Amino acid sequence: MKVDVLLGLQWGDEGKGKIVDVLAPRYDVVARFQGGPNAGHTLEFDGIKHVLHQIPSGIFRPKTRNVIGNGVVLDPIVFRSEIEKLSRFNLDVRSNLFISKKATLIIPSHRLLDQAQEKAKGEGKIGSTLKGIGPSYQDKIGRQGLRIGDILSSSFKEKFQKLVDVHMDILKHHDVTFNWPEMEGQFLEAVEFLKTFQLIDSEYFLNRELTQGSSILAEGAQGSLLDIDFGSYPFVTSSNTVTAGACTGLGVAPRHIGEVYGIFKAYSTRVGSGPFPTELLNEEGEAMRKVGNEFGSTTGRPRRCGWIDLPALKYSIMINGVTQLLMMKADVLSIFPTIKACTRYQLADGTVTEQVPYELTHERITPIYEELKGWHCTLKGLGEKELPKELIDYVVFLEGRLGVPISLISTGPDRTETIHRFRK
């Protein structure tokens, strides 16, 4: 069997959590491969909304095993509080959750460094979630990070102290206030809790599963336009959010990759700073935010909203090798009599292009739009056959421009509000 990959094609929050939960019954294993508690993946069913940050979104499906891969950065404090929240739901989390010993540990001073770095950037701040993502990946790449497997070592406390000393040396130069004994105490308790879970050599685990014929779904976090290499740098996250990240973040070879599900909203959103060519700073953008409930699942910040951006989507499809597209939040566009799609960019020197320019941050980009008639009616309770003609026209238009079939349309946050196209 193969590893199918599901990832966001925009700036995150495309609806990955919902769809991983919908697809999970088809898979034996769901695995997160990058990111950490900066992610907020929402699932909704039986009238309850769940937001997961660290735990893979297959956790509510009893037959699916869930893996936190080596490419992830994990905060034991966030992990503990997430597990505690799940304890009300009678899930067998301890049997169904496996954590890579090679995943990177987020320690409390990473969060402080995140704050300090953002503060030092002033106006140019990234708009980080302040979960310690950048600093923990910096330590990983700088070859001084701690890994989950280290918590099992008898010398863990010394290793931890050594890293804390390095961080405190830097923090001396910054204006950040904190109560270290309290933070440390909470962290060390959470580490003891984490030790009681199945900490494994996940690359062996996953490759063994593949050999035995299991199907695996890799769950991306963030989105392709936040990728450290291909996103709108420097306004990005610190990991490879693209398909290739699933290979390095799980230890599976490229030849094992199967379907690549590229998930996107029927419009665009972004939370945090950075370029956003189709952003609507008007009442249309506000209406999208209100109707789409566009507030961050991790930080509660309002998300910036705008029309769909096809040059950016095409770029993401190219980098990821997307084989199927999944379109989310079609219902939100029901409010508009006319829908716009950016098909090209006009640059400051007058050039018209379908390519994402190198300098997305400082280049003044004017989106060129094509207009389509909106469906302007509710999609509640509709099946594939009952979808309004204008919505199908929009889907066919996007498929034509993007060159990849749209195999799923989501019409609401609940599990059941999902239309699978082409299913026999």
List the catalytic residues. 13, 41
CA distance 330 to 32: 26
Q: Indicate which of ligand GDP, Mg ion, ligand IMO, none lies near residue 321 (CB less than 5 to 8 Å, by partner kind).
A: none
Cβ distance to Mg ion smaller for residue 174 or 301: 301
- Please, are residues 245 and 322 in contact by the beta-carbon 8 Å criterion? no
Cβ distance to Mg ion smaller for residue 34 or 202: 34
Q: Indicate which of ligand GDP, ligand IMO, Mg ion, none lies near residue 127 (CB less than 5 to 8 Å, by partner kind).
A: ligand IMO
Q: Indicate which of Mg ion, ligand IMO, ligand GDP, none lies near residue 340 (CB less than 5 to 8 Å, by partner kind).
A: none
Q: Indicate which of ligand IMO, ligand GDP, Mg ion, none lies near residue 126 (CB less than 5 to 8 Å, by partner kind).
A: ligand IMO
Cβ distance to Mg ion smaller for residue 13 or 75: 13
Q: How far is the CB of 245 from ligand GDP (least distance, A)?
A: 15
Burial category of 385 from C-beta neighbours within 10 Å (exposed 0-12, middle 13-18, buried 19 and up):
exposed
Q: How far is the CB of 223 from ligand IMO (least distance, A)?
A: 6
In the block, which residue shows the tokens 């940050």? 53
Q: How far is the CB of 131 from ligand IMO (least distance, A)?
A: 5
First to last CA, the chain: 21
User: Binding residues for ligand GDP, per CB under 6 A?
Assistant: 8, 12-18, 40-42, 44, 292-293, 297, 328-329, 331-332, 410-413
Q: Indicate which of ligand GDP, Mg ion, ligand IMO, none lies near residue 15 (CB less than 5 to 8 Å, by partner kind).
A: ligand GDP
Cβ distance to ligand IMO smaller for residue 41 or 61: 41
User: Binding residues for Mg ion, per CB under 5 A?
Assistant: 13, 40, 297
Q: How far is the CB of 297 from Mg ion (least distance, A)?
A: 4
